[in-house]
Structure 1
Amino acid sequence: MNETQQQPQNPNLSLSHIIGDKFAASSGILQPTVRKCCQNEYNIYEELLLNESNGMEDYTAPLWQKKTWKVPHGLCGPLASSKDDNQLTRFYEALQHTLYETGLPETIDLTGVSKKQSCDQVTIGILSSPVECMSNLLAGGELCPGDMLLIMSDTWCSKQTSPILPNKYSLYVHQAVTFYEGGYSFLERYDPPRRVTYFVNYFTDACTGGVCCEGEKLEKGLDCPMSSSLKLNQIVDDKLYTRILLGKAGVGYPVTLAFRYKAIGSYENENEISNITVVRIDDGACHSASKNLVRNAISKFITENKNSAYNKLVVKPSGVSWYGSKCVSFHNKMDVDGITAAVQNVFEHLQEGDSVLVEEYIQFEQPKHQNHDIGKYNVRIRSNVVRNSSGNSQTTQITCGIGISDQPINGDNTIPHSLELLLKKFGFSDIQIREIRQDIALQSEKCMAAIIQSEAGLSEEKRGEVGAQTDLIGIDLILKKTEEAKYEVVVLEINSHDCMINCQIYEFINRNKLHEAAADLVETMIARSNAFLIKGKTLLVIGVGDFSKWFAFEEANRHGVNVVLVDTDFDNSMPSVPVFVEHDLSNLKNIEKIASDIIRKLHSKKIYPDGCISFWEDYAPIAAAICEKLKLVGSNFRAATIAKNKFLTHQILSKRMGDIPHFPRTYLYSSKTHQIDSDADIQKAVSEKTISLPAVLKLLYGSSAVGVHLVKTEEECKQYFNEIQEKLDMHGVGLGFGSSMMLTNFIAGSEHDVDLIIFNRKLVAAFVSDNGPTRVPDFTETVAVMPSTLDEESKSQLITTAYQCCLEIGLENGVFNIELMMTKTGPKLLEINARMGGYYLRDWILQCYGVDILLSAMMISFGIRPHIRAKKPTRSIVGVMCLPSEHGDILSDREVLKRLKEKQDNGSIRFSKFDFPIANIAAIGPDATTAMKALIDLCDTFRISTPSYNVEKMLSFVPS
């Protein structure tokens, strides 16, 4: 070290001896009120030393680089004492510091006016300083704007007796920093306070190193879903226990000798898992018997592994308080004395139930052609895995650190790299990198799956809280080179839910990756919040429909929703429901009276629903009328009535000719129509040239294409009209409203379905699918593809058309299905179904986009806003409708049904049965072309494709 690099002679000299005592201690950040014009290096060094002396630098950044931010007057919150809270102030300034330096807007104080919130609203509360959870907060601001809350003090919360679970408590937030889209955040105050629907607690001894422990008391006895718990933390952060789980799951880990210190009970199969030897130490760490036991166990372990490839051993502690490489040391494999002393040293710091691990040291090796610096560097790879919204394990992000081989490597002493950048630095090929990434993701997901499985059998007492489960883990791992020059994944340890800090640092460096690690986790938070919000609600369902709708009742039951079913009669083949109310729904001429009568029956039974819905086309207006009378959220009666009447829908839309600054004029989507109640109406429509032939004749209130027919002449039109009036008698196709028909121009183009989720007039999500050519002259559906194969601009036109038409007729809340034609001039409306799409649509949307439109429909009926991130589809589904006339015999064959079920169980197809048509068989592939080819093969195998029902020809519109 040269002279200019030498440190001052007296590094402990106080700053007051250098530049005086006039310092302001503001928010824990010491700053001189009077600063000399010039300071030498000695002055600056001493000032920095004192700035690091207030005891929290290991937990929150010192922030000496920036002047103190203005702290809002109401920061301490409505429940806090009047004294200044230095810790809270420090957290607030740390948040502003992060926002400022990452180019995001600083927090705006809105506490001057209390905000009114619905109690039935997603509220994700994270009790934490901002340091650990910025990635979660920002992702939440995008996915559930206004519902992701940073709670920086337990005084911002209160607990009240749970309204849903006995002997439990609901957590309410009175004040929080709330995040919105674009990184905007606001300090908000709530009156009444918001009920937390998902809780994340980082104010624990383990998460903060003992700095903030207020959350430990706060989480006790909560009724809401939680990310982990104190007890689950102790399980997941136990390196020995998780290695036993990994052994069962077939995931690699280092050869390990484990000393369990004053353990209570034994792990299941702890002495039967390969490459793990467990020794119990029940006496004090310094007891002579314990010393001998430790030494003898280490000697035996070394002897048994003396011929192994590794030449070093690692000593590390295991337990909830051990993180960041604390007390980790490396030793020569044959150094019995040094290893024994290191183990004894760790014992001095252990708590009961902790362990000390002695394990093989794994050196990251480069490919053979890269020989420079071999052994000088080592790496640690961090894989973050979530329990996704479907309850499965999913790897979200992989980051890496590179360090010197002779010292521990962790997130605190490395700069985060992507896996690709790290492996390229060490000479790996693109093919190797791709294979390694896939294997890391696979092995990581096995780790989470093992934890999910182990928690499935835990009692509430062992989980810690009724809503606690592990939703996030961070896995530290390394790549071990095998004799075949391949690389296997070796897991070093698993960390619990406060493991996102490295990911957020990586994402702030690489802004194109922002939200990558946290988005799926936030989706899980939202999904669990949704389940919590709807559990115990009472849902009034009008009409059971045919068996193709019965899944809705099963799902409602699974979510803990109490269904009250109203229908004409009940038989034992119908799905089980808690309450059945009998009411004649056969005559639908007076909807308002039917609705009033149903309400009277409900009230006489003291039934007061939280929501009302119908999944059956004919009963949507009844549900809308009941919603309107009971002031429930849903379609209004006027809008549902218009939607049910196809002629009225087009007539209203055709009148919407005014300017709209953000959309085309609505009349452009409508078609010329003429209501037909007699032969004279047909003659008038044709003679006045309102309608040009050939044209389409359809039922005014029809559904499922029943009664739709292409007519080429006036006489043919009259003949078909009279046949329909005399012969058609079919439940659920609109005849309860009347048998009037409409004549409309034939529209040339491709047919598409758009399924919309709308809440309070706002478009939440939209899904476009393609329908193949219908069977003329009756327009029955044949094949379909999801997602649509159209270009993005055409899909956007269809979505805008569907949304605009719904709003124009007054559909503002619900899940709706809109049928459209894409013509040369743009989209044209066929019809609006004021209910959730039927047949296969719910299943396909769930498979393609991960969105459950049934859950969204139920939530909206309860007045709960759905937060949805429709993922970019990674698969395509191509399906064909099966008709009684063509496939009745085939699909009544038990052997065929058995084989189809087997294919569905292995995930290669989707098979749905209906009343009419009788079924849909669909193939799944990575793209539409692959799925199409698989479906053609499937249809040939099962004789679905025939000369009169040529599936390959029907699918000719799919890009090949």
Structure 2
Amino acid sequence: MARRALILVEGHPRGTGLLYVQAARRLGLHPIILSADPARYDYIAAESLEAIRVDTENLDALIRECSRLGATYDIAGITSDRESVYATVGKLCRHFELPGPDPASIERCCDKFTQRQLLAEAGVPIPAYRLATNATDVEGSAADVGLPVVLKPAVGAGSRGVRLCRNMDELSEHTTYLLSGQYIWRSSPRILVEEFAQGPYYSVEIMGNEVIGIGAADLGHQPYFVFRECTHPAPLTDDEYKRIADISQSCLRALGLGWGPTGIELRWTKRGPVVIEVNPRLSGTPTPQLSQLAYGVDLITEHIKLVIGDEWNLRRRHSHAAAARILVPDRDGTLDWIGGESRAAALSGVAEVKFYVEPNTPIVRKGDSRDWIGHVIAASPSTAQTKATLQQAIDLIGWSITPFPAIGE
């Protein structure tokens, strides 16, 4: 009998990619990585994984490779945790008559302008927005919406290219960055100019049509939107939870989602919850870990079960408080050392300590998720205890960055 294989198209090099591999193996599956650049993934060698180089943006190339693999393996399912290839994965699943997301819904959702239009038509509360393709459009749109505004690429993930512009100088500076060739576009340049919705930030984790949990997040210092801390569950009243859950269901209906994982980001403003973004995929690290620690639901394992046609179990097994602190440097330069991992990990209540960088790594902050250099996760029966443990762990971790020499030195 042929070995059952799970095809993983790309993955997050330092996030959920390895978690998918480990979950697949626990389910008795043989994980196979398809990637345009397998060398990006350190865990391929560490886990002795089968990996194949293929153009993962080319549907025909993926079909050929999966057909070839099908002669050796019983392909149980195909999936990905990468938004940029998720619609293609949906098309791949349809070709092989395997369970998968609706590619048209994924494509509509990944285009943030189309997403905004569909949410607005359905009456979902969202920030005021305009679409711009050049500097004149951006300036006019900002005047219409009113400063401060958030500029973001219409297609993208990980907060790349996203910035709060509080005045015309910042607006001009960031517009130049986006349109002058410094920013790498995945599609033709289109910029969303959005009202800056202010208030507490929440993230909703959904599997199918079921809200698994709602977390609270701190996005750190403006003008960028880099996650610094996440806590599950969020401190909400029953009424607040219901309002956020109801709006989340409205998002699924408006966007034709409801198969597999969805992550929704909101802010609670003066007019109540306002949807910032709907992501038609599983949220990245540390969300899956927090969901498992807080609710006892392994989102990655349950997603794979859906992908291979097995019955999933989304029942909450317990109710704890889990929190993660993201390690973010405060300067550019060369990382001399980073340490304290083992001492922090030894603390009771600490679930995970992970560094993404090694000494002698150049640190160049970009104002997005690529700035992360590690994370610490803790859990306990109470939020206060979890927060205290998390801070104890953070206090044991340190690093040193030597600034780059000034030009001319």
TM over 0.5: yes
Shift in Å, 1:578: 5.7
What is residue 900 of structure 1 aligned with on the other side? Answer: 344
Instruction: Choose the corresponding residue for 1:581, options 52, 70, 76.
Output: 52
Conservation of the 8 A alpha-carbon contact between 1:877 and 1:923: yes
Is 1:546 equivalent to 2:39 in the alignment? no
Instruction: Choose the corresponding residue for 2:126, options 670, 676, 682.
Output: 670
The aligned amino acid for 1:630 is F
Q: For residues 144-197 of structure 1, give each alpha carbon's deviation from its aligned partner in whole angstroms, at most 9, with x where no partner exists.
A: xxxxxxxxxxxxxxxxxxx89xxxxxxxxxxxxxxxxxxxxxxxxxxxxxxxxx
What is residue 570 of structure 1 aligned with on the other side? Answer: 38
Instruction: Choose the corresponding residue for 1:756, options 206, 209, 221.
Output: 206
> Once the two structures are aligned, what percentage of the paired residues are identical?
17
Change over 3 Å in CA distance of 1:807–1:631 after alignment to 2: farther
Counterpart CA distance in 2 for 1:544 and 1:829 is 26
Shift in Å, 1:778: 0.6
Task: Give TM-score scaled by structure 2 length.
Answer: 0.84
Conservation of the 8 A alpha-carbon contact between 1:671 and 1:745: yes
Alignment of 1:569-718 (within 5 A): 569-571=37-39, 573-575=42-44, 576=47, 579-585=50-56, 594-607=58-71, 609-656=75-122, 667-687=123-143, 689=144, 691-718=145-172
Counterpart CA distance in 2 for 1:626 and 1:891 is 45
The aligned amino acid for 1:756 is I
Q: Secondary structure at the match of 2:139?
A: helix
The aligned amino acid for 1:869 is R
Q: Secondary structure at the match of 2:278?
A: strand
The aligned amino acid for 2:196 is F
What is residue 178 of structure 2 aligned with on the other side? Answer: 724
Q: For residues 628-669 of structure 1, give each alpha carbon's deviation from its aligned partner in whole angstroms, at most 9, with x where no partner exists.
A: 33332221111111221111101111112xxxxxxxxxx232
What is residue 402 of structure 2 aligned with on the other side? Answer: none
What is residue 267 of structure 2 aligned with on the other side? Answer: 821
Q: For residues 554-595 of structure 1, give each alpha carbon's deviation from its aligned partner in whole angstroms, at most 9, with x where no partner exists.
A: 22123211223211133383424664332224xx5xxxxx22
Higher relative contact order (CA 8 A, sep 6+): 2
Shift in Å, 1:840: 0.9
What is residue 380 of structure 2 aligned with on the other side? Answer: 925
Conservation of the 8 A alpha-carbon contact between 1:878 and 1:931: yes
Q: List alignment gaps of at least 5 residues for structure 2.
A: 357-369, 400-409
What is residue 389 of structure 2 aligned with on the other side? Answer: 934
Alignment of 1:149-228 (within 5 A): none
The aligned amino acid for 2:165 is V
Is 1:768 equivalent to 2:224 in the alignment? no
The aligned amino acid for 1:846 is Q
Conservation of the 8 A alpha-carbon contact between 2:78 and 2:307: yes
What is residue 408 of structure 1 aligned with on the other side? Answer: none
Q: Secondary structure at the match of 2:292?
A: helix
Q: Secondary structure at the match of 1:884?
A: coil
Counterpart CA distance in 1 for 2:242 and 2:217 is 17
Q: Secondary structure at the match of 1:716?
A: helix
Q: Secondary structure at the match of 1:611?
A: strand
Alignment of 1:23-172 (within 5 A): none
Change over 3 Å in CA distance of 1:602–1:700 after alignment to 2: same
Shift in Å, 1:750: 0.8
Shift in Å, 1:605: 4.3
Conservation of the 8 A alpha-carbon contact between 2:148 and 2:167: yes
Counterpart CA distance in 1 for 2:353 and 2:206 is 24
Q: List alignment gaps of at least 5 residues for structure 1.
A: 1-162, 165-535, 589-593, 657-666, 945-960
Q: Bigger radius of gyration, 1 or 2? A: 1
Alignment of 1:323-338 (within 5 A): none
Q: For residues 204-237 of structure 1, give each alpha carbon's deviation from its aligned partner in whole angstroms, at most 9, with x where no partner exists.
A: xxxxxxxxxxxxxxxxxxxxxxxxxxxxxxxxxx
Conservation of the 8 A alpha-carbon contact between 2:296 and 2:318: no
Instruction: Choose the corresponding residue for 1:743, options 185, 190, 193.
Output: 193
What is residue 882 of structure 1 aligned with on the other side? Answer: 327
Shift in Å, 1:796: 2.0
What is residue 41 of structure 1 aligned with on the other side? Answer: none
Counterpart CA distance in 1 for 2:147 and 2:171 is 10
Q: For residues 762-790 of structure 1, give each alpha carbon's deviation from its aligned partner in whole angstroms, at most 9, with x where no partner exists.
A: x2442111012532111211222111111
Counterpart CA distance in 1 for 2:338 and 2:213 is 34
Counterpart CA distance in 1 for 2:297 and 2:336 is 30
Counterpart CA distance in 2 for 1:888 and 1:928 is 35
Conservation of the 8 A alpha-carbon contact between 1:815 and 1:836: yes
Q: Secondary structure at the match of 2:242?
A: helix
Counterpart CA distance in 1 for 2:21 and 2:70 is 22
What is residue 275 of structure 1 aligned with on the other side? Answer: none
Counterpart CA distance in 1 for 2:207 and 2:83 is 17
Counterpart CA distance in 2 for 1:811 and 1:862 is 19
Conservation of the 8 A alpha-carbon contact between 2:216 and 2:231: yes
What is residue 836 of structure 1 aligned with on the other side? Answer: 282
Count of residues paired in the alignment = 380
Change over 3 Å in CA distance of 1:547–1:942 after alignment to 2: closer
Is 1:788 equivalent to 2:234 in the alignment? yes
Instruction: Choose the corresponding residue for 2:256, options 801, 806, 810.
Output: 810
Shift in Å, 1:872: 4.5
Alignment of 1:388-467 (within 5 A): none
Q: For residues 19-66 of structure 1, give each alpha carbon's deviation from its aligned partner in whole angstroms, at most 9, with x where no partner exists.
A: xxxxxxxxxxxxxxxxxxxxxxxxxxxxxxxxxxxxxxxxxxxxxxxx
Instruction: Choose the corresponding residue for 1:558, options 13, 18, 26.
Output: 26
Change over 3 Å in CA distance of 1:871–1:606 after alignment to 2: closer
The aligned amino acid for 2:383 is A
Counterpart CA distance in 2 for 1:704 and 1:860 is 25
Q: For residues 714-760 of structure 1, give each alpha carbon's deviation from its aligned partner in whole angstroms, at most 9, with x where no partner exists.
A: 44323211113346457xxxx433543211101011111111010xx
Counterpart CA distance in 2 for 1:862 and 1:678 is 45
The aligned amino acid for 2:341 is L
The aligned amino acid for 1:725 is L
Conservation of the 8 A alpha-carbon contact between 1:815 and 1:856: no
Counterpart CA distance in 1 for 2:257 and 2:280 is 8
Q: Secondary structure at the match of 1:647?
A: helix
Shift in Å, 1:846: 1.0
The aligned amino acid for 2:61 is D
Shift in Å, 1:698: 1.1
Shift in Å, 1:886: 5.7
Shift in Å, 1:887: 10
